[in-house]
Amino acid sequence: MAKRDRIHPVILAGGSGTRFWPLSRKRRPKQLLPLASSEPLISDTFARLEGLAAPRDVLVVCGRSHARALRGMLPDDVQVLVEPQPRNTAAAIGLAATVVAAKDPKGVLAVLPSDHAVLDRRAFHRTLREAAKVAAGGSLVTIGITPTRPETGFGYIRVGEDHPAGGNAKRVRSFVEKPDRDTASRYVISGDYLWNAGMFVFRADRMLDEIERHLPECAEVLAEIAKAVGTAGFDRALSKWFPSCPSISIDYAVMERADDIAVIPASFGWSDLGSFASLPEVRPADHAGNVVQGDILAFGATGNVVVGHPGKPVALVGCSNLVVIDTGDALLVCDRERAQEIRQVVEALEKRGDRRLL
């Protein structure tokens, strides 16, 4: 791969995944769970980079509490950047850009969440390669997923005219917050909107320039860290300076304020795996539409998502559209339509001080 075709994937692995309780816990967040396959999501995310980037070019950004587990799931030559304190995605992405820029200022980064699913790897590679070519010309690029339904759980990207880079690239007219059902329906019908998948492609120097322009207090911190990149004092500098970064998302800090934002429309079997209700998007269902794992007995039951505890049968009779998760120490029963509300259980346990179940 020629140097200018080289891509530096950045996997953001700092999330907590509270909507997957009780499977997900603080010490075992969503990205460490085998939700889309038999492997943890972080392993799936790394595996789909084969043929797109060398392991030595991959960076993983995570928190201290998950660093050891993540390193055990990844090859030794993958660089793991450990945040001393969580400061949201602008700081995490700025840190990755700082590390890449130290060796290759015009190096192209592809920022990818660690906890999403992609079913069509070839289409995924084609999309990222096209995005990288546009980004090499100086544009900030985002990946927009062609909507398949009026989804209210995603932000949207309003697409403008063709981008001068050509190909499938379009200009971004605006980023739109999560809509209500009627508005989402209008977006899908119009054909002018894409789902915001949280995937970004850009040159290291361009992102650092935009951070300096729109988030100067973060740029000052990154400039101090940059002095130590590649030295024995890097971890010490990171611990000293990184917590001073403002906690703000890259969307608000940069992408919604920068000029020359391009979007590549894509369809590669994507799911953000936002809750248990999304598992049927990536896992096979039985003849009645049930997605099950474990010793499950179902009679007249349809459209359920069930994960049983080893050695403990779960029987469903005449029920539909439920989420049933048994982890041995906790049992969750939830309407599939309300799976996004599971985080309320975590909040209640936190208020009770029940750390055993968190």
In this predicted structure, what is the pLDDT of residue 136? 97
Residue range 3-271, CATH number? 3.90.550.10
In this predicted structure, what is the pLDDT of residue 2? 47
In this predicted structure, what is the pLDDT of residue 351? 94
| Strand 314-317, strand 140-145: pairing | unpaired
**CATH 3.90.550.10 residue ranges for the chain:** 3-271
In this predicted structure, what is the pLDDT of residue 151? 92
Over residues 208-215, the mean pLDDT reads 97
Q: In this structure, how many other beta carbons lie within 10 angstroms of the beta carbon of residue 77? A: 10
pLDDT tens readout for residues 98-152: 999 999 999 999 999 999 999 999 999 999 999 999 999 999 999 999 999 999 9
d(CA 154, CA 357): 29
Backbone torsion region of residue 169, taken as left when φ is above 0, otherwise alpha when ψ lies between -120 and 50, otherwise beta = beta
Residue 1 has pLDDT above 70, yes or no: no
Cα distances from 15 to residues 225, 289, 329, 352, in angstroms, run 23, 30, 23, 23
In this predicted structure, what is the pLDDT of residue 119? 95
User: Is the Cβ–Cβ distance between 326 and 276 less than 8 Å?
Assistant: no
Residue 17 has pLDDT above 70, yes or no: no
pLDDT tens readout for residues 138-176: 999 999 999 999 999 899 999 999 999 999 999 999 999
Q: Backbone phi, then psi, for 110, in 5-degree steps? A: -120, 110
What is the pLDDT confidence band of residue 289, given thresholds at 50, 70 and 90? very high
Q: Backbone phi, then psi, for 141, in 5-degree steps? A: -120, 140
Surface-to-core class of residue 345, CB atoms within 10 Å of its CB (0-12 exposed, 13-18 middle, 19+ buried): middle
In this predicted structure, what is the pLDDT of residue 3? 56
d(CA 140, CA 255): 8
d(CA 162, CA 305): 42
Three-class DSSP category at 234: helix
Q: What DSSP letter does each residue of 115-137 carry, written as one string?
A: S-EES-HHHHHHHHHHHHHHHHT
Per-residue tokens: 313: 């049968």
d(CA 291, CA 303): 7
